[in-house]
Structure 1
Amino acid sequence: MNIFLIFNITSIGIAAFILLYLSQIPKTKSGCWCWGIAFALQVVGYLVLLSVEDRAQVRTAEYFHVVSLLGYGTVLLFGTFQFFDIQKRQRNYIIAASVITLWYSIFFFIFEWFFAASIIPSIYMAYCVSVVGWIFYKKRHKNKEYILLSLITWLSAVHYLDYPFLRQNIAFAPYGFLIAGILNMVLVIFLLRFQFVHFRQRLIDAEALALKLAYHDSLTGLINRRRLFDLFDTLKLLVIRRKEKLTVIFIDLNDFKMINDNFGHDAGDHSLVKIARRIKSVVRDTDVVSRVGGDEFVILALSCQNQAGIEELVSRIKECLKEPLIIKQQDHLVGAAIGYAVCPDQSTNLETLLSLADSHMFKQKQAHKADIEGTENDSDLVEPTNAEVK
């Protein structure tokens, strides 16, 4: 029998240590700590049995073993609740385990009625592991392996229920420990696997998020300047090989600073998101839209293969940006100065193309300011009416 106890202590002890260690790693799913404590309680119970040196100590050791199993079933259930984020009143289970422990103590030591003492703890243990199995079974749509774990827990429940009957025949004790050790080992392997699978998925999700943050603008969701340069290098080779053109369109919003000054940065951020959506709505799926500055956008347009196509796209962008933005129930007009350069006609270097597009855009911006100033000057030259003279 000692061989089976040593097997249980070694296998379950290692698993308990791994679960407790995993619980200290960030991003590990909840429940790992409770599962580790649950199997550690089992190990304590087996160690108590292994420490028995004479038959006089067997009764006391068996008592502590059953009490440790009551703790194991309760904490195993708590870990499952946490793993699936199930809100349950754990206090009720703690009270039930305490009352059952008191029942077991009274009938085991005072009345010395083994069957009456052990039947209630056996039912409670079977109930706890059955609930664990039922919870995993209900979540089987997430992972088909949950069904196998459910079967293991239900077999364990049957094993706990036969304890009051088979324990009275000492010949069954070694086989009971062997069966319990195998079932617990399979159970803990599944629990470890589920934690590792979840941990692996969290790492994959974290890596995907890191890449998204590295290559995308966090506000608008458009690609950022770094990703723009990477994509340009790829698209440049494509258009050169196909003898096509890649148009770099630079967009700088007019008077956008007034939105931040008059309505606050939250309103400005919300407006940028709307503007990004508008620009995306007028370009083709093959075109790349990026945000490279506070109110600056760059488009890599594969859809424009001639001057007419470029002017048509620029016109569509200007039209979509002419629609007023509604900010705090007020209309605010935001236009844009747009410049462009063509690869490979003007350059195959993105920095150079951006510089050329920026120069083209700057001329438009200066013309826009000149038109505004000219309009203001014209209004100052209007002759006063007779009513104004009087």
Structure 2
Amino acid sequence: MQEEFYRIRRLPPYVFAEVDKLKAAARAARVDVIDFGMGNPDLATPPHIVDKLTEAVKNPKTHRYSTSRGIPGLRRALSGYYERRFGVSVDPEREAIVTLGSKEGLANLAQAITAPGDTILCPNPSYPIHAFGFMVAGASVRSVPLLPVENFLAEVEKACRYSVPKPTALILNFPSNPTARVVDLDFYGQVVDYARSQGLYILSDLAYSEIYFDGNPPPSILQVPGAKDVAVEFTSVSKTYSMPGWRIGFAVGNRELIAALTRVKSYLDYGAFTPIQVAATAALNGPQDCVAEARAVYKRRRDVLVESFARAGWEIPSPPATMFAWAPIPERFAHMGSVDFAKMLLNEAALAVSPGLGFGEYGDGYVRIALVENEQRIRQAARNLKPVLAR
């Protein structure tokens, strides 16, 4: 028998596994772990969205198979959101599709457009599915260093120049998970111009478009004239409306890419449960004060984290967006690397974080801290940290 299947062999060992195992053991021993590891929103889904789900699920007709590309009302609501938020016109029939979260959408698009041996350009560090979705599909993934972001486009050009075969797609994610970096519309304009000149598709992950704290709201790449010629963009209700377990995401943009994703999904699923799609429609069409309230909560948590951890001896740059802080390992612990440093924090401070190595080799000098604990717990984490950092 074959020892390991082809696609499994392409996946590297899961970097977070060691920390997750220690976290589970600590909880089994009744240790009060303050968990900043997974970006799993702890805020409640707004009541009007839950009420719409409850209303819809009482209708027996909604219990039948749905449609893999999403119900028409939800695609129209998505189109309305893009018009209001970005001033971008989206055809709900040919330029939009509903996915089972943006993660599933990215992975299935990778299956749709990738042949074994294709080259894909992926930022490093980045959210794991950005690279691994294409690895599973058989592509060769070339890392493009993301730190600092000012050099990113030059690195993309270098990667295109020296890659064989020529890259077929470039992945973008701003505001960035894990680095929390943001970019402006001029940046997107330069990337679109370059991609059009190279025949390069752009896959933009905009999952954190509504969680921003400083300056202007993050733009969409589709605001660039001509971007739809080369770009498709993924969004989600998970973080915006605190609906991570509902698994509703979207892809909009280039018609060829949307058609490819639609065709693959038609063979794989019947779409999300219809009442969930109805509730997601209510989220996009309904009052948006809940989004501003969630943003304010994350901003307060960010400020408490930066201030209290600094007093404990750990200077962390203040993230301008997302629900994460990308924290450089303190200099005197830098030799440990992110995995051992994260294990030390768990063992000695009952504090769980994500090692930066899990997001790519260029992230190994950092850990990611998710703002998913309340302000009191964040201050407690700082108190736990202080004696460890002062050793």
TM range (shorter): under 0.3
More helix by share: 1
Instruction: Pick 1 or 2: higher relative contact order, CA cutoff 8 A, min separation 6.
Output: 2
Larger Rg: 1
TM-score (norm 2): 0.19
More strand by share: 2
TM-score (norm 1): 0.19
